[in-house]
Chain A
Amino acid sequence: MSRNALGLWTMGVLSLVLVFGVPAIVETFALIDFTLFIAMAILSLSLAFVWGFGGILCFGQSAFFGLGAYTYAVAVINMGESTVPILLGILLPVILALVLGYFMFYGRVSDVYLAVITLAVSLVFYYLIGASAGEEYKIGSARLGGYNGMPSVPPINVPGNPSAAVEYEALYVPAAVLLAVVYFGLRALLASDFGRVLVSIRENEARTELLGYDARRIKTVALAIGAGIAGLSGVLFCAWGAYVSPTVFSLVFTAQIIMWILVGGLGTLTGAILGCVLIQYLATWLGETKIADVNIVLGAIFVAIVLLVPSGFVPMFARLGDTLMRRRGEAGS
């Protein structure tokens, strides 16, 4: 069996365990924590796709995430039913990404300049929503609340039935299913012609264009797909905590997302999930035990990875595994 097929089967089995096995054995409290990790893992996947495969260094992934969360909050408070708000929470970030992508890629902005623009967009949201503290800042009946955020956001409900709320531990299974759908969806996308061309743009943009592919359009679409997934993650996050505040747009949050990807390894989807869960878990654990300041530990890891394991952990272990398999193969023959 090829490594790719092996990986696919492994991930298939793992996602079944995640959806059906975990809820059966884990306590309710832990399940609620896991739901948050899953929402974040979806966000991590969105940047892993855009940055790791599209080569687009987006420092504004939190803008799409936050926009998704706020859109959901505002819409569900006004509508009282969650189906349309969820879709809006995906749609608005996609529209933002299409506008931004048109703005940046068609203007041939790249690399670090692209990072600055996306970061600036994220901070525009941070300041604007942060300044919305007064009574007068309302969208329909939803008060934006400035830096205090929006509390008491209604939970997701069974489509068409607002009284059947899917909250607390009940949110776990839908979230896990969504994670699996996003993961396998992205894998399929990357295996398609679109995915191949996207990766080829990352490898050699000039050559791809000389072959007749429109890199600007393809990168815009990739950014939009990433934005939609980030928006979905934002919706889950907001529904999970019944709360959202402008910190989702902050620099610190953006740094975290980038770190998840770096830990897991750029250019792998599995790594993005692992890196996210690992760092989240570590941060939570440090916060509870107070052994050391979270920033010191995360910062040191961040630096160490860039300097010592620049490819991230998953590709490193994959290489180790390959070497071991080959050794065993040689020993057997």
Chain B
Amino acid sequence: MTGPPLLETRGLTMRFGGVTAVAGADFTLGPGELRCLIGPNGAGKSTFFKCLTGQLRPTEGEILFDGESLVGEEPHSIARRGISIKTQVPSLFDGLSVAENLRLAAARTRNRAETRAAVDEIVGLVGLADRADSIASQLPHGQRQWLELGLVLACDPRLMLLDEPTAGMTKQEVARTAGIIREIGRDRAMIVVEHDMQFIQMIAHRVTVFHQGRILAEDTMDNILADEQVRDVYLGKQAGAGRERSDA
């Protein structure tokens, strides 16, 4: 890796009562890097994201973004520093239209004309141009995922966190999502949590494996697939189960 990392966590730990969801994770992401995060359900991936965005305050450990600590910051100020998240279950403004959703996200940092331009651009990028006036709650699931992707993008972040962006999508939709992510990943860093191995192969170079709140392995996709230990904790169990989804 060249240059200082964009994101770095040291000994990041999150405990809930007696349960340790994240147990001392040391994670590093370079500028502009696209990384996939995999691991069995309950490995602590979503909790890890919530710590990064300030929705949870870690019990221990340090989070450095661009060299500055994020621990204890409010979600909105972390968002202003340039970290934006697509949550596992799409979190949208259900009563507003697609365009209004995007406008809200875009308007914080832009004036009126810029906002309009950004909305027009993003609505096309995520393939919702012909649905711009539809109310968010009326969109089918796949399009809701894209709209949230658009919201995240409209914040113009330096780091995007995508939690299961293809959950509940058809094969064609997954392929299209991979296209969108490759497109927007060209000029910004991204961490993607996924279960779908084919999808990960479409987008990622490096993959990090989470297991029981720790980082188990970090390597290229091919090497990860060949790793015995990884297969034991994760892939082996899933081999017969096909594509499994978690809602937790």
10 nearest A-B pairs in the assembled complex, by CB-CB distance: A212-B79, A209-B75, A207-B91, A209-B76, A212-B80, A203-B93, A214-B76, A211-B105, A212-B108, A200-B93
Q: How large is the interface on B (under 10, 10 to 19, 20 to 34, 35 or more residues)?
A: 20 to 34
**Distance (Å) between the CB of A315 and the closest chain B CB?**
13
- Is the beta-carbon distance between A209 and B79 smaller than 8 angstroms? yes
Instruction: Report A207 CB to chain B, min CB distance, Å.
Output: 4
Q: Once the chains are docked, how many angstroms separate the CA of A207 from the CA of B75? A: 10
- Let me know if A197 is at the binding interface, CB within 8 A: yes
State whether A213 touches B93 (Cβ < 8 A). Answer: no
Complex-state Cα separation, A214 to B74, whole angstroms: 9
Q: How far is the CB of B237 from chain A (nearest CB, A)?
A: 32
Q: State the A residues within 8 Å of B (CB).
A: 193, 196-197, 200, 203-204, 206-216
List, in ascending order, chain B residues with CB within 8 A of A211's CB: 76, 79, 84, 104-105, 108, 151, 155
A216 neighbours in B (Cβ, 8 Å): 74
B35-61 CB mask vs A (1 if < 8 Å, else 0) is 000000000000000000101000000
Tell me which residues across on chain A come within 8 A of B87, comparing CB atoms: 210
Question: B176: shortest Cβ distance to chain A, in Å?
Answer: 24
Mind listing 11 A-B residue pairs with CB under 8 Å? Answer: A196-B107, A200-B96, A200-B104, A207-B93, A208-B104, A210-B85, A211-B76, A211-B108, A211-B151, A212-B76, A213-B108
With A204-B93, A210-B85 as contacts: A197 and B76 at CB distance below 8 Å = no
Q: Which residues of B contact A (CB under 8 A)?
A: 53, 55, 74-77, 79-80, 84-85, 87, 91-96, 100, 103-105, 107-109, 151, 155
A203 and B95 contact, Cβ closer than 8 Å, known pairs A211-B108, A211-B151: yes
B84-A196 in contact (CB<8A): no
Return the chain B residue nearest A218 by Cβ. Answer: B76
Partner of B107, one of A193, A206, A209, A210: A193
**B contact residues around A193 at 8 Å (CB):** 107
User: Which residues from B are CB-within-8-Å of A196?
Assistant: 100, 103-104, 107
Q: Which residues of A contact B100 (CB under 8 A)?
A: 196
- B94-A203 in contact (CB<8A): yes
Closest beta carbon of chain B to A183's beta carbon, Å: 23
Least CB separation from A216: chain B residue: B74
Q: How far is the CB of A3 from chain B (nearest CB, A)?
A: 15
Instruction: Tell me the complex Cα distance, A311–B117, Å.
Output: 36
Return chain B residues, CB-CB under 8 Å to A204: 91-94
Closest Cβ neighbor of A193 among chain B residues: B107
A203 to B107 alpha-carbon distance, docked (Å): 17
CA of A211 to CA of B86, assembled, Å:
10
Please report the C-alpha to C-alpha distance between residue A323 and residue B85 in the assembled complex, in whole angstroms: 40
Given A206-B55, A211-B104, A214-B77, 7 more A-B residue pairs with CB atoms under 8 Å apart are A203-B94, A203-B95, A210-B55, A210-B75, A211-B105, A212-B79, A214-B74
Inter-chain CA distance A90–B77, complex, in Å, is 32
Q: A193-B107, A196-B104 are in contact. Are A212 and B92 (CB under 8 A)?
A: no
- Within 8 Å CB of A214, what residues of B? 74, 76-77
A residues near B77, Cβ cutoff 8 Å: 212, 214
Which among A203, A212, A213, A215 is the interface contact of B96 at CB below 8 angstroms?
A203
Complex: chain A residue closest to B81, CB-CB:
A212
Identify which of A200, A212, A215 contacts B155 (C-beta below 8 A): A212
For the complex formed, measure the closest distance between the CB of A4 and the CB atoms of chain B, giving whole angstroms: 14
- Residues on B with C-beta less than 8 A from A213 are 76, 108
Which B residue sits closest to A211, measured CB to CB? B105
Residues from chain B with a CB closer than 8 A to the CB of A200 are: 93, 96, 104
A197 to B151, CA, bound (A): 14
